[in-house]
Every structure is written in C-alpha cells, then in structure tokens.
C-alpha cells in the first residue's frame, strides 16, 4: 500500500526529510494550492504567485525524478481547499492510511497534521543549521537569551569565519561598529536581477490576478526566482555585486531604492529554493578570495547563521501560544494607513508603497518605520503580526512571528529583544533621506508640524515607565525625560494625545 508524503508550499527542497523517508516506487506525494492557506490572512498576490509557481515547477521536477505526485491546482473542481481536506481526499483515492511529513513552520499546521485520522510520521525539518534540541539545550538555564551568544555557538559548530586556533576570523565576532552608514543616491547602484515569467509562471500570474484581486498588493512586475536554478543565480549575483557593500549600508533607507545592497534572498530561502548553510559558506568563500570585506561577509552571515536560526529556535521552543502574547497590553487597531499608504509621514508612506509594489521591505524599514510606529502608538500585536504575515513574500510564521511580536513589538516581554525597538524621528533622519521630503519637521519637538515620531516616542516611554525605567539600557533616556522642563513634557504628551485622537478618528495624518 502506498503512503502519502506531504510537501507544503514552503518545503520545496529535494532532500526534504519527508522525501528522504519515503519510497518513490510506492508512495504518493501530495501538493495542493488551497484557498484556506492563500486567503488566511489575505496574502500579497506576489507571494501567492511565488509559492504556486515554485510549487508547480517543483512538482514537475519530482515527477521527472520518478515520483507520483497528486497535485491539486487551485481551480480543480475536487480541490478541498484546505491541507487536511486534501490529505483526506488523497488518502481515500489511494487507500492510504499513513502520512509522512516534515514538521511545518507553523503551530497551527503542526496541530492540524497531528490531529489527522491517519498514522502520521512527522519528521524534523533538517533544512536549518541547528537542530531544535541544540537550540533548547543552549537556551536551558540561561536568564537571558541573546542572539549574539547563540550565533557564536553556530560559528563554532560550522567553522564558518573561524580560524584553526578556535578564534573568530579577524579577532572579533561581530563587525557592526564598522556598519550603519547612511546611503546616498548613486547612479551605479547595482540592481537586483529580475526573472522574467516563463509559461508556467505566466499561467499562475493569470490565476492569481483573477482569484485574489481583492488582496492588498500589486501583481505587476513579478520577477522573483521560482526554481532552484534561478535562486542560485540570484545568490551569485548578490555575492558578486551587492555583498561587498552589504555591511556598511544594511541599516540605510533611501526614497525610491527598495533594495539597496540587500540580498532579497529571503523569499527563495524560506520556501526551500536555497540552502542557508550553503549560502553562508559561499559568502565566506567570497571573503576568503578577497572579493568581499570581512565586515560585509560577517554581517550577512550573522543574519542567517545567527538571527534566522535564533528566531526559529524561540518560536519553536515557546510553542503554540507565542502568537497570542501581548506583554505591553496594546489594543489599538492597526491604522488604515498601513493599507492605503495615505499619510503625510513620508517614511511610512514610502514603506507601505514599496511593500504594496514589491511584497518586500528591508529589515530597517520593517523594524524602525512600520514596526516602530505600531509599537509607539500601541497597536494590538496580533493585528500587527497578521499584517506582516500577509504582506511580505518571505513571511512564514516561524520567522515572521518572533520578528514581529518579539523583536519589533516587545509582545513576548523581552524573550527576543533586551529592550523595545523604539526611536524618535532622529534615527530615521540619520539613516534615510525621508525627512527631507516630509510634511512634518523632524527637528520640531512639539506643535502642529512636529514629527509624530518625536511626540510618540516620549508618550510611549512615559506610558511604560514602570516596566522600562529600571532596564539598564534605558536608564539614560528616562533620566533625560525626567530632566526635561515639566511644561515641555506636558506639551509633548498632550500633542501626542491630540495626534492619536486625529489618527483614531480616521483623519488624514
Ligand atoms: P538581507 O538583509 O539580505 O539579509 C540576509 C538574510 O538574512 C535574509 O534573507 C534572511 O534570511 C536573514 N535575516 C536577516 N534578518 C533576519 C531576522 N531578523 N530574522 C530572520 N532572518 C533574518 N524575515 C523573514 O524571512 N520573514 C519574515 O516574515 C520576516 N518578518 C519580519 C518582520 C519584522 C517586523 C522584522 C523587523 C523583520 C522581519 N524579518 C523577516 C527579518 C528581515 O527583515 C528579513 O529577513 C529581511 O528583510 C529579508 O530581506 P533580504 O533577504 O534582503 O535580507
Ligand atoms: Fe518620518 Fe518624521 Fe522624518 Fe517625516 S519627519 S519622514 S514622519 S521621521
């Protein structure tokens, strides 16, 4: 008898643990394009197109390799439109009683598979550099979990950027002090490669255009890699052309430049078209060959070997309750401007515009513009989380939730971040050119034209004083607030309240 082998839309890896366990001579691979996943939350059309196109191409590759694939297209009349529904339908068709799967990166799906009336063999996802056991034994007994220390473990484990004497290459673990430069417009700015849709992708684009036209986001200009070969080309291009300057400019933001020196590899990486360890090794090789400076290579490797592995470890360790955390008890609704982009705040309107166009924004836009604003005004973290999960092509819960709820919104009470990522307009002004073209004045601290980030920053700190005043990384800032003239403090708080009242009333802000 045959067994079913589930391959989800973000598990498009030939040596996926479920495929390794299965027998291509007798088992049936199940893949399904379902509304239950594409529509909850309403994902960006470019993200749905990426996943469906890559799934169709991967299914064809599996068939060419001798697998039997039961593939459900979205508009197939018998499609059950849910993962469990499709598995049960296929189990009946093939008289299968067993399912082999790789653990999904989402607790909802893990629970759904575990509850199926089939014998389920759920295998670990081995596409990560650390195992969950490794992460949890590292985490055990630590008062604080900090990425930097876990990252060092991963450097030691893989030997990446390590010397024979066990010391980190160049003598330091982290070269961030050489980074964090603002960027200027540059005619020679290397562009990201664009992969023109082939016939399969074109057919998917038409499908998505007609079935999901009510979702936030533009479908035009789709150019993500959708095969392993194209993803490898995208990685080569990044390493040759943008990695050398990745380090210094990783925190920079520039109007009209959505990508700067970022890799834009997360969409391919997160659905299985690229291997994270291989990518780190290639960045290291480029450094050892003298093509890339150490601060850029190390900065990039840290994002993958450190952050990506670390956030996954936390999400998986914490369990299904992670996404309902709300440590700061924030309950404001997500403002409409996150969908419309209609606001006089140039930084926010640019971040939303790029997100709508590209299903992409880079880390500092996500953290210090959209995330910062939502945290300052106290948006319900679940609404923030749902927004990020829907609008970005690389968003899957294991990586999106800890970044949004944990790093950006402090909703996990500090498991992931040692202090809340909040800033006034000053930081945005330092790292971008947004303020030059803004209706608000970043230098103005109070009054009608004052940058809202300047007002809301103090409003947030004042509101959460009890919680954060004793945090050693925030003591100086509370001391500054305390030293400020009492009338000025009152003015800032009342200006912030007035701004929030206008925002809540739906007025254009
Ligand atoms: P680069 O800047 O080129 O970085 C290289 C790679 O490092 C990325 O491709 C990514 O795989 C990894 N990486 C970098 N930072 C992180 C991080 N903090 N956590 C995990 N991996 C990281 N990343 C996602 O992959 N999916 C998400 O849904 C997601 N949501 C986020 C939400 C918020 C609020 C924040 C602040 C960050 C989020 N990130 C998410 C992390 C990061 O912003 C993206 O990984 C990055 O912007 C992807 O673009 P890139 O490939 O050009 O990255
Ligand atoms: Fe954003 Fe304030 Fe700068 Fe305007 S002035 S772009 S609102 S930080």
For residue range 84-99, list pLDDT tens digits in order. Answer: 999 999 999 999 999 9
CB 355 within 8 A of CB 391: yes
- At residue 131, the pLDDT reads 96
Same-domain status, 178 and 281: yes
- At residue 186, the pLDDT reads 84
Q: Which bound ligand lies closest to the C-alpha atom of 435? A: 2
- At residue 388, the pLDDT reads 98
| Within-domain flag for 322 | no
- For residue 4, list its beta bridge partners: 28, 99
- Number of domains comprising the chain: 3
Residue 356's domain is classified under what CATH number? 1.10.579.10
What order do you get walking across the sheet with 98-102 strand by strand? Answer: 68-72, 28-32, 4-6, 98-102, 119-123
| Within-domain flag for 231 | no
Q: Which atom of ligand 2 is nearest to the CA of 424?
A: 8
**Cβ < 6 Å from ligand 1: which residues?**
262-266, 269-270, 300, 303-304, 307-308, 311, 362-363, 366-367, 371, 388, 392, 394-395, 399-400, 403-404, 407-408
How wide is the angle at C-alpha 372 spanned by C-alphas 104 and 314, nearest 5°? Answer: 30
| Within-domain flag for 277 | yes
Long-range contacts of 348-351 (CB under 8 A, 24+ apart): 348/373, 350/253, 350/255, 350/434
- For residue 120, list its beta bridge partners: 99
For residue range 74-84, list pLDDT tens digits in order. Answer: 999 999 999 99
Average confidence score pLDDT of the chain = 96
Mean of the pLDDT values across residues 151-159? Answer: 97
Ligand 1 centroid to Cα of residue 441, in Å, is 30
Same-domain status, 145 and 88: no
Mean of the pLDDT values across residues 41-62? Answer: 98
Ligand 1 centroid to Cα of residue 400, in Å, is 8
| Distance of alpha carbon 293 from the chain centroid | 26
Same-domain status, 393 and 263: no
Q: How confident is the model at residue 486 (pLDDT cuts 50, 70, 90)?
A: very high
Ligand 1 centroid to Cα of residue 79, in Å, is 33
For residue range 418-472, list pLDDT tens digits in order. Answer: 999 999 999 999 999 999 999 999 999 999 899 999 999 999 999 999 999 999 9
**Best substitution site from 370, 439, 451 to test ligand 2's pocket, by max atoms within 8 Å of Cβ?**
451
Same-domain status, 11 and 57: yes
For residue range 169-206, list pLDDT tens digits in order. Answer: 999 999 988 778 888 888 788 999 999 999 999 999 99
For residue range 341-374, list pLDDT tens digits in order. Answer: 999 999 999 999 999 999 999 999 999 999 999 9
| Within-domain flag for 197 | no
Q: Is the pLDDT assigned to residue 315 strictly greater than 90?
A: yes
Chosen domain end from 123, 146, 163: 123
Same-domain status, 84 and 145: no
- At residue 372, the pLDDT reads 98
Q: How confident is the model at residue 125 (pLDDT cuts 50, 70, 90)?
A: very high
| Within-domain flag for 205 | no
Ligand 1 centroid to Cα of residue 270, in Å, is 10
Q: Which atom of ligand 1 is nearest to the CA of 312?
A: 20
- At residue 180, the pLDDT reads 83
CB 195 within 8 A of CB 231: no
Same-domain status, 428 and 453: yes
- For residue 100, list its beta bridge partners: 5, 121
Same-domain status, 143 and 116: no
**Phi/psi at 69 (5° precision):** -120, 125
**Best substitution site from 348, 354, 394 to test ligand 1's pocket, by max atoms within 8 Å of Cβ?**
394
Distance between CA atoms of residues 205 and 194, nearest Å = 16
Chosen domain end from 284, 317, 350: 317
Q: How confident is the model at residue 151 (pLDDT cuts 50, 70, 90)?
A: very high
Distance between CA atoms of residues 323 and 389, nearest Å = 12
| Within-domain flag for 227 | no
Residue nearest to atom 8 of ligand 1 (CA): 266
Residue nearest to atom 7 of ligand 2 (CA): 345
Same-domain status, 313 and 341: no
Token reading at 143: 């008062």
Same-domain status, 353 and 474: yes
Same-domain status, 302 and 434: no
| Within-domain flag for 236 | no
Residue 500's domain comprises: 337-504
- For residue 102, list its beta bridge partners: 123
How wide is the angle at C-alpha 338 spanned by C-alphas 337 and 342, nearest 5°? Answer: 30
Same-domain status, 290 and 421: no
Same-domain status, 407 and 428: yes
């Amino acid at each position: 008898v045959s067994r079913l082998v589930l391959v989800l839309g973000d598990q498009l890896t030939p040596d996926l643990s479920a495929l390794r366990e299965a027998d291509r001579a007798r088992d049936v691979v199940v893949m399904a394009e379902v509304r239950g996943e594409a529509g909850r939350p309403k994902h960006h059309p470019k993200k749905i197109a990426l996943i469906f196109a890559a799934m169709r191409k991967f299914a064809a590759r599996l068939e060419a390799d001798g697998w039997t694939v039961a593939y459900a297209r979205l508009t197939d009349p018998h499609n059950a439109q849910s993962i469990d529904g499709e598995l049960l339908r296929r189990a009946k068709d093939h008289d299968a009683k067993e399912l082999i799967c790789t653990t999904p990166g989402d607790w909802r799906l893990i629970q759904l598979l575990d509850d199926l009336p089939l014998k389920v063999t759920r295998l670990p996802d081995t596409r990560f550099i650390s195992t969950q056991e490794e992460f949890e034994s590292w985490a055990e007994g630590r008062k604080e979990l900090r990425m930097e220390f876990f990252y060092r473990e991963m450097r030691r484990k893989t030997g990446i950027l390590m010397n024979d004497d066990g010391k980190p290459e160049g003598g330091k673990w982290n070269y961030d002090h050489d980074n964090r430069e603002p960027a200027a417009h540059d005619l020679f700015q290397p562009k990201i490669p664009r992969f023109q849709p082939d016939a399969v992708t074109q057919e998917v684009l038409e499908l998505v255009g007609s079935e999901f036209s009510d979702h936030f986001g533009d479908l035009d200009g789709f150019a993500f890699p959708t095969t392993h070969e194209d993803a490898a080309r995208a990685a080569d291009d990044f390493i040759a052309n943008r990695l050398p300057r990745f380090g210094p400019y990783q925190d920079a933001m520039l109007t009209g430049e959505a990508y700067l020196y970022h890799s834009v590899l997360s969409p391919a990486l997160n659905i299985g078209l690229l291997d994270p360890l291989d990518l780190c090794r290639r960045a290291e090789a480029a450094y050892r060959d003298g093509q890339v400076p150490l601060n850029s290579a190390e900065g990039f490797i840290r994002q993958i070997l450190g952050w990506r592995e670390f956030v996954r470890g936390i999400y998986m360790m914490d369990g299904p309750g992670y996404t309902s955390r709300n440590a700061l008890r924030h309950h404001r609704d997500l403002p409409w401007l996150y969908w419309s982009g209609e606001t006089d705040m140039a930084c926010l309107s640019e971040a939303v515009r790029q997100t709508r166009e590209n299903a992409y924004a880079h880390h500092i836009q996500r953290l210090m513009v959209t995330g910062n604003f939502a945290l300052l005004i106290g948006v319900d973290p679940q609404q923030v989380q749902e927004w990020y999960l829907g609008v970005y092509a690389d968003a899957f819960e294991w990586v999106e939730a800890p970044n949004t709820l944990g790093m950006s919104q402090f909703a996990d009470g500090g498991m992931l971040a040692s202090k809340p990522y909040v800033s006034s307009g000053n930081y945005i002004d330092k790292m971008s050119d947004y303020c030059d073209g803004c209706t608000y004045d970043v230098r103005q601290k109070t009054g009608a034209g004052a940058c809202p980030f300047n007002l809301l920053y103090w409003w947030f700190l004042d509101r959460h004083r009890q919680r954060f005043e004793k945090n050693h990384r925030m003591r100086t800032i509370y001391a500054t607030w305390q030293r400020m003239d009492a009338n000025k403090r009152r003015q800032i708080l009342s200006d912030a309240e007035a701004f929030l009242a206008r925002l809540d009333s739906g007025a254009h802000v």
